[in-house]
Structure 1
Amino acid sequence: MAKRGYHHGNLRQALVDAALNLIAERGPTGFTLSEAAKAAGVTPAAVYRHFEGREDLIAECARQGYEIFADLMEFAYDGGKPTALSAFEATGRAYLAFARKYPGHYVSMFESGISVNRTPDLARASARARGVLEQAAETLSQHIPKDKRPPAAMVSAHVWALSHGVVELFSRGEPGSQAPYPPEDLLEAGVGIYLRGLGLIAPDS
């Protein structure tokens, strides 16, 4: 077998890419470091030059996922303007799109049991992603007096949880197999109900 990791000069990333494929196929505990090394085209001993164990490898997968995720959220937020609501909704759609396009990263981030505080770099990447949604929530609530305004961190956490629930229940299997509505429609309706309940957007006429 060709030493793919060595061939392109980045063994560390070759191992991450191999792990991401294995995680997407088998879950975060469904592979060994030896299997990741074999998929990267290197010996098992080579893994330990870059990672102390499987959890460290998964943590790096998660860190890279959060970086991609934060970039997508920022792009969605900026592109979703001109209104605060459309920008906020765009970040929710970006969550669904990320889960579909980057399953290995998504599982590493949210289903591996790896703490976001495992490394400083992972914590920073996670905080950047959360910060985009918090900024969207803060902007959306500017019209409410400050003493009556719900905390932006709470609003963003609730919407994050709602987005995650839609992904887990309705967006990770065969499209349309578990719900009569597209995941994007479910999320938009749920977010709308939640935001109206808080008074952040006007009721339907």
Structure 2
Amino acid sequence: MRQINQPVYHHGNLRRAIIDAALEAIGESGPAGWSLRELARRAGVSHAAPAHHFGDKTGLLTAVAAEGFEVFADVLERTAGDILEAGVAYIRFAIDHRPYFEVMFRPELYRTDDPGVRSARERAFHVLVTGAGTISPNPEQDRLTTIAAWSLAHGFAALWMSGALPESAHDDPEIVARSLVRLVFGTAR
């Protein structure tokens, strides 16, 4: 017999419901401002369900990071190695998928050796490295060009999302990002 305060399960995919609750909580209070018990309440499941599916908060954040890197890799792969488009896609991903972004680039929050995280992260970074290689003055500088392009996109996204750029109040981030990438890397488009 069910106790009065015990949650009723209506989820066809409990794992998905918990990840969705985590993404919502991260969007509201960041990756550290909530507990597994709170997520269970949000998802309408028993307080033990998140621990059963993910072990602990680190396990849940590992699942969020893996899923985030998968979505990120899909987005970047659609740019077909065009460094300008990859930079804009990076920034658009950060803005549109902020909860993922806030976890993915904070490796202290999750298990970086997780096979799902590693695989998806490698897919995403492959696109960035390939695109940066198209503008690198020579193959020996590919790594530095990749770091410069990554820093530009990541830094711009962080500044935009924090509201530190006056433009973030009224401009389109893609227009500003395209201009910035052209300025820094001298791309012809």
Task: Mark yes or no: TM-score above 0.5.
Answer: yes
Residue of structure 2 equivalent to 1:168? 158
Residue of structure 1 equivalent to 2:102? 107
Instruction: Indicate whether 1:45 and 2:22 are aligned.
Output: no
Once the two structures are TM-superposed, the CA of residue 71 in structure 1 deviates from its matched residue by 0.2
For 1:164-193, what per-residue CA distance to the aligned partner results, in whole angstroms no more than 9, with x for missing partners? Answer: 111111244499565786433443343334
Instruction: Report if the CA contact (8 A) 1:33-1:44 is conserved.
Output: yes
Once the two structures are TM-superposed, the CA of residue 108 in structure 1 deviates from its matched residue by 1.4
Matches for 1:1-205 after TM superposition, within 5 Å? 3=8, 6-75=9-78, 77-78=79-80, 87-111=82-106, 113-114=108-109, 117-141=112-136, 148-173=138-163, 182-196=172-186
* Distance in structure 2 (CA, Å) of the matches to 1:39 and 1:92: 35
Instruction: Report if the CA contact (8 A) 1:176-1:182 is conserved.
Output: no
Instruction: Report if the CA contact (8 A) 2:58-2:110 is conserved.
Output: no
* Distance in structure 1 (CA, Å) of the matches to 2:64 and 2:150: 20
Once the two structures are TM-superposed, the CA of residue 44 in structure 1 deviates from its matched residue by 1.1
Q: 1:30 to 1:158 in 2, by over 3 A?
A: same
* Distance in structure 1 (CA, Å) of the matches to 2:181 and 2:140: 15
SS class of match (1:128): helix
* Distance in structure 1 (CA, Å) of the matches to 2:147 and 2:123: 14
- Letter of the 1:105 partner, please give it: Y
* Distance in structure 2 (CA, Å) of the matches to 1:152 and 1:185: 26
Structure 2 runs not aligned, ≥5 long = 1-5
* Distance in structure 2 (CA, Å) of the matches to 1:25 and 1:103: 10
What is the count of residue pairs matched by the alignment?
Answer: 184
